[in-house]
Chain A
Amino acid sequence: MNIVVCVKQVPDTETTRTLKSDDKTLDRAAADGVLNELDEYAVEEALRIKEAHGGEVTVLTMGPGKATDTIRKALSMGADKAVHLTDDALAGSDALQTSYALQQVLGRTGFDLVILGSESTDARTGVLAAMLAERLGVPQLSLANKVEIDGSGIKVQRQTDYGYDKVEATLPAVVSVVEKINEPRYPSFKGIMAAKKKPFETLGIADAGIDAAQVGLASAATEVVDFAEAPPRERGQIVKDEGEGGVAAAEFLASKKFI
């Protein structure tokens, strides 16, 4: 089975994240880049499927040069090889363009299964799996909290607000997984050492057959008009409980007409 896991390098949630004042895109220099934590579940699920059914796991990322660190983490967890799509022409691409670029690369790598995390912790658009399935013309098995493969058949439980849907399809397919579908493994020392020797392909847009006119900030279908730091919330009243704290809180709720 040819499994491709799409991962993204994102700014560490614990650091100060902002946009750049000139082109209003993510300021990647301002924060440490880490593997999007929701992608760890995707990597883990890919490894489990490979362990159960055989095959190969390829990590695919699109991003600037330093995203290499992110790929290394996925390789050290146990993925077999990596493809890094990186090109200055891709900078500022929105989700629509990113899905196009990844589609082009996936056309090159081939796939039985494409696995993604449910969303990135920076942009949080949650649209990429759906866009990729649409572009690739394969089943969209997104928001899965359980994945079962039987030959060319695939069954997932799709998490919904009311519970879940049982969904069935035939491979090839695009799957996105939700947090807690599994417990991602930590890279072992052996895994970290082995990762350094694994095949690692770096592609520019020309290598991947990507049309330069369809990617990058200038041709994006969305644009950030302006941005500003959110005004800090006015600090409210803090009281210390001396035995009547619950009553005082109720008083506050009543004053705001919640009760």
Chain B
Amino acid sequence: MAEILVLVDHLDGEVKKVTLELLTLARRHGEPVAVWVGAGYADAKDKLAEYGAAKVYLAADEELTSYVVAPKAELLAQLVADKSPAAVLVPATAEGKEVAGRLAVKIDSGVLTDVVDVSDDFVGEHSIFGGAVIAHARVTRGTPIVAVRPNAVSPEAAPGAAVEEQVSVTLSDAAKAAKIVERVVQEKGDRPELTEAAIVVSGGRGVGGAENFKIIEELADSLGAAVGASRAATDAGWYPHQFQVGQTGKTVSPQLYVAVGISGAIQHRAGMQTSKTIMAVNKDPEAPIFELVDYGVVGDLFQVAPQLTEEIKKRK
């Protein structure tokens, strides 16, 4: 069975959930092989085995994570040449897509970005134009490079041997041109990462001010959810820009999306329309968000959201 390379997404050994999703997806189409770049493998090993990595190509040299993106693409290009995999899967995160882009140039292969599912022969399903259109696309030249959106697939455990093979690459000068001199990890508290979270609670214009976002945060925390915000809220400076969900922000696809005080303009829908279950609280019964919801409450969010938070805590 042909190998399918999965680029592991991790932060110093803490494996991101999307990696487990990619391994699950890879298993349906071939032999999943994890590609590890950087430090921290010892902490990650068991997890990769648990989710079915048959092999792990291990490139622990920290030089590979000292430069922006290019070293990962050079390593993958070399592995494609040496191992002839059937495909390369990367997470459709901002960085994952950049790795895919550079790799595509290096090996002259087509790249599919932001797919939500992969069927036989690596045909990727895309949800485009803000979720209005479902398109299927395939790579017609080279080794398919597929960037898969986080939360597109449910990760399923299936033990793999995770046989380790040390790999290395001699970086070109061009790959060492953009040096990372410092990594700044900002405090995020205990909340899950926005694009990875199973549940996202977002606040919008109706929240009315930065101080009121604690209502959104409390609801999110009661559900173990990430916090998001509409562009209206981030533009107003009520919540940091990196939490924006929408056309010009993050695309999320959680199991549950709760929109609070968000009208549901196309700008916002483009970032959350593929969520599995959608709930909204809005005082305007005509708000377009209600066209998407599985459950909607027409009412004052300052009444409904705290009551919901209390009720969730009570039921725990």
Chain A interfacial positions (CB closer than 8 Å to B): 13-14, 16-19, 24, 37-38, 94-96, 99, 118, 121-131, 133-135, 137-143, 157-170, 173, 179-180, 220-230, 232-233, 235-241, 243-250, 252-254, 256, 258-259
Q: Which residues of B contact A143 (CB under 8 A)?
A: 94
Q: Which residues of B contact A237 (CB under 8 A)?
A: 294-296
Main secondary structure of the interface of B (DSSP, over half): mixed
Q: Which residues of A contact B139 (CB under 8 A)?
A: 221-222
Q: A124-B128, A240-B297 given. 5 additional CB < 8 A pairs?
A: A129-B98, A129-B101, A227-B128, A246-B309, A253-B223
Taking a contact as CB atoms under 8 Å apart, the answer to whether B179 and A169 are in contact is yes
* A170–B306 CA distance with the chains assembled, in angstroms: 52
B190 at the A interface (CB under 8 A): no
CB within 8 Å for A130 and B101 given contacts A94-B110, A118-B94, A179-B248: yes
* A125–B104 CA distance with the chains assembled, in angstroms: 13
Taking a contact as CB atoms under 8 Å apart, the answer to whether A259 and B223 are in contact is yes
B305 at the A interface (CB under 8 A): yes
* A19–B134 CA distance with the chains assembled, in angstroms: 10
CB within 8 Å for A179 and B249 given contacts A131-B104, A167-B180: yes
Taking a contact as CB atoms under 8 Å apart, the answer to whether A37 and B179 are in contact is no
In the complex, which of the residues B110, B178, B290, B296 has the most CB atoms of chain A within 10 Å of its own CB atom? B178
Taking a contact as CB atoms under 8 Å apart, the answer to whether B136 and A227 are in contact is yes
- Smallest CB-CB separation from A154: which chain B residue? B178
Checking A24, A126, A180, A241 against B303 with a beta-carbon cut-off of 8 angstroms, the contacting residue is A241
Checking B70, B135, B249, B308 against A246 with a beta-carbon cut-off of 8 angstroms, the contacting residue is B308
Q: Which residues of A contact B244 (CB under 8 A)?
A: 179
Taking a contact as CB atoms under 8 Å apart, the answer to whether B142 and A139 are in contact is no
Taking a contact as CB atoms under 8 Å apart, the answer to whether A127 and B100 are in contact is yes
B214 at the A interface (CB under 8 A): no
Shortest C-beta distance, B152 to chain A (Å), equals 15
Count class of interface residues, chain B: 35 or more
- Smallest CB-CB separation from B240: which chain A residue? A180
- Smallest CB-CB separation from B276: which chain A residue? A256
Chain B interfacial positions (CB closer than 8 Å to A): 11, 68-70, 73, 93-95, 97-102, 104-106, 108-114, 123, 127-142, 174, 177-186, 188, 193, 195, 199, 223, 234, 241-242, 244, 247-249, 251, 255-256, 266-267, 270, 273, 277-279, 281, 285, 290-300, 303-312, 315-316
Checking A121, A134, A160, A244 against B105 with a beta-carbon cut-off of 8 angstroms, the contacting residue is A134
Q: Which residues of B contact A161 (CB under 8 A)?
A: 11, 93-94, 193, 195
Q: Which residues of A contact B309 (CB under 8 A)?
A: 246
- Smallest CB-CB separation from B295: which chain A residue? A252
Q: Which residues of B contact A95 (CB under 8 A)?
A: 101, 104, 111, 113
Taking a contact as CB atoms under 8 Å apart, the answer to whether B298 and A240 are in contact is yes
11 A–B pairs (Cβ distance < 8 Å), ordered by A: A13-B267, A140-B70, A140-B102, A163-B183, A165-B182, A166-B180, A166-B182, A227-B134, A245-B308, A246-B306, A259-B316
- Smallest CB-CB separation from B234: which chain A residue? A180
- Smallest CB-CB separation from A129: which chain B residue? B98
- Smallest CB-CB separation from A239: which chain B residue? B297
Shortest C-beta distance, B181 to chain A (Å), equals 5
Shortest C-beta distance, B66 to chain A (Å), equals 10
CB within 8 Å for A246 and B307 given contacts A130-B101, A164-B184, A168-B179: yes
- Smallest CB-CB separation from A230: which chain B residue? B134
Shortest C-beta distance, B186 to chain A (Å), equals 4
Q: Which residues of B contact A141 (CB under 8 A)?
A: 68, 178
* A169–B18 CA distance with the chains assembled, in angstroms: 31
Taking a contact as CB atoms under 8 Å apart, the answer to whether B69 and A130 are in contact is yes
Q: Which residues of A contact B69 (CB under 8 A)?
A: 130, 140, 142
Q: Which residues of A contact B112 (CB under 8 A)?
A: 222
Taking a contact as CB atoms under 8 Å apart, the answer to whether B181 and A168 are in contact is yes
CB within 8 Å for A238 and B293 given contacts A96-B111, A169-B178: yes
